[in-house]
Amino acid sequence: MKTYHIVTFGCQMNERDSETLAGMLEDMGYGYCPQFKEADVCVLNTCSVRENADKRFYGVLGQLKNPHEQNPGRIVCVCGCMMQQQIHIDKLKAKYPWVDLVFGTHNLHDFPRLFRNAADQHEKIVEVWKDGEPIAEGLPAKREYPFKAYVSIMQGCNNFCTYCIVPYTRGRERSRAPEKVLEEVRCLAAAGTKEIMLLGQNVNSYAGISDGSEGSPFSGKTGFAQLLKEIDKVEGIERIRFMTSHPKDISDDIIECFGSLQHLCRQIHLPVQAGSDRVLKRMNRHYDSAHYLSIVEKLRKACPDIAISTDIIVGFPGETEEDFMSTLDLVRKVRYDSAFTFIYSVRHGTPAEKYEDQVPEEVKHERFNRLVEEIHRIQEEKSAAFQDAVLPVLVEGPSKTDDKILTGRTESNKTVDFPGDQSLIGKIVPVRIVKAQTFSLYGKLI
Ligand code: 5AD
Ligand code: SF4
């Protein structure tokens, strides 16, 4: 049997796309190969969000240079966000002759046809579309886990934050019909999936148009809160999560769902990006720190023990020490359960690329370290509160270092390790926390 391997860079959206690509390759008769250099087909699904991801991609691509030493008939395919930028296509054409097929984020559904052409013709095929069409339905998927699944509800982004490349690589917002989303969730539940993660660049602005199917609970335009309410009723789904939420679009209706829906996890990822109003304005985020804090207050009122995580960028152009102190101040006020912190990375083609007051590298790094220290301090304190608590844990698999130890996640998305039998994988079991560490918990099955 011919084999494939997919290397995925970047966010959950890309991971979900890779599941579709894997499903397509398996439908074409290819089997999974764990070693990427040995596979007959190697797909690299790229990410553009920061320079680091660009560099890692070129590093991996470089390792595929010598097919004769590795696998003479190998087909190399490259797709994802980087391929939506001409600069990278030109570079691949000029310097990477071993790439056989290049396609983008908007024509992923056409991969089987493009792939067959590339395999038959033995010449490089580059086909990238500028804009997205309505989201293609009915594509296959090879899901990573049987018990938890990503469900994409929308694609693209209309927000044009000034640092971000995503609106240029993923196009405008397009929402799937709510009936299609519900149908996918029902199928997953019927197959035993317990947890679903609804995905979109900005799920709060979901606006799906009903396809009018018979018996549908939807009509006309559906908002995110209404979609959540219907998904909450699907039998078998015990945990619902979503990401990402833009603070400017989170409605009271969505906030109330945390208090009223039985299966919505008490956890939200709410990127703040910065605590300084001046920086937020230059980032084009459409909210200020007071508004962000008022959302946090409402969330905690609706659901007192909700876990809140965030994304923060340090060193955005023009960020002063005072601006940075406002970010630290906001972090102390919110007391995040966890945070993804990023050093600002110039992205070609974004408005912030042209800003002249770029922050020196050493200042960015120094601020980054201070921010991470503060976040970890708070995280440690918050984690300590779980000591001796009994928490339901969805068991994901054996721990990487010891197969007698299982690893799983709490409702708040914290990792818990505990001794247990592999027959528990995929089940939600009660675990008493005996050791609460900053990033993970250790427990005993009860
Ligand atoms: N530099 C650094 N971080 C960025 N992000 C997006 N663009 C950039 C950039 N140019 C971060 C944001 C976003 C997360 C997915 O990546 O915090 O929420
Ligand atoms: Fe990028 Fe802003 Fe859109 Fe998020 S909301 S994908 S940060 S432009």
- Which residue CA neighbors atom 4 of ligand 2 most closely? 201
* Pick from 71, 62, 1: nearest CA to 35: 71
pLDDT in tens, 305-345: 999 999 999 999 999 999 999 999 999 999 999 999 999 99
pLDDT in tens, 16-46: 999 999 999 999 999 999 999 999 999 999 9
DSSP 36: T
pLDDT classification of 200: cutoffs 50, 70, 90: very high
Q: Is the pLDDT of residue 68 over 80?
A: no
pLDDT computed for residue 403 by the predictor = 87
Query: To which residue do tokens 């102190």 refer?
Result: 325
DSSP helix/strand/coil, 312: strand
Q: Ligand 2 pocket, 43 CB below 6 A?
A: no
User: How far away, in angstroms, is 269 Cα from ligand 1 center?
Assistant: 14
pLDDT computed for residue 121 by the predictor = 79
CB 409 within 8 Å of CB 396: yes
User: How far away, in angstroms, is 81 Cα from ligand 1 center?
Assistant: 14
User: How far away, in angstroms, is 300 Cα from ligand 1 center?
Assistant: 26
pLDDT in tens, 107-125: 999 999 999 999 887 678 9
Q: Ligand 1 pocket, 164 CB below 6 A?
A: yes
pLDDT classification of 67: cutoffs 50, 70, 90: confident
pLDDT computed for residue 73 by the predictor = 85
pLDDT computed for residue 408 by the predictor = 97
Query: To which residue do tokens 């196009």 refer?
Result: 171
Q: Ligand 1 pocket, 50 CB below 6 A?
A: yes
pLDDT computed for residue 243 by the predictor = 97
Average model confidence (pLDDT) across the chain: 96
Q: Ligand 2 pocket, 166 CB below 6 A?
A: yes
Q: Rounded distance, CA 238 to CA 343, Å?
A: 36
User: What value does the mean pLDDT take over residues 256-285?
Assistant: 98
pLDDT computed for residue 255 by the predictor = 98
pLDDT in tens, 394-408: 999 999 889 899 999
Q: How far is CA 401 from CA 297, 397, 398, 404, 417, in A?
A: 40, 12, 8, 9, 11
User: What value does the mean pLDDT take over residues 352-377?
Assistant: 97
User: What value does the mean pLDDT take over residues 146-154?
Assistant: 97
Q: Ligand 2 pocket, 201 CB below 6 A?
A: yes
Go through the domains of the chain in sequence order and give each one's CATH number. Answer: 3-127 (3.40.50.12160), 148-384 (3.80.30.20), 390-445 (2.40.50.140)
pLDDT computed for residue 66 by the predictor = 85
pLDDT classification of 70: cutoffs 50, 70, 90: confident
pLDDT classification of 427: cutoffs 50, 70, 90: very high
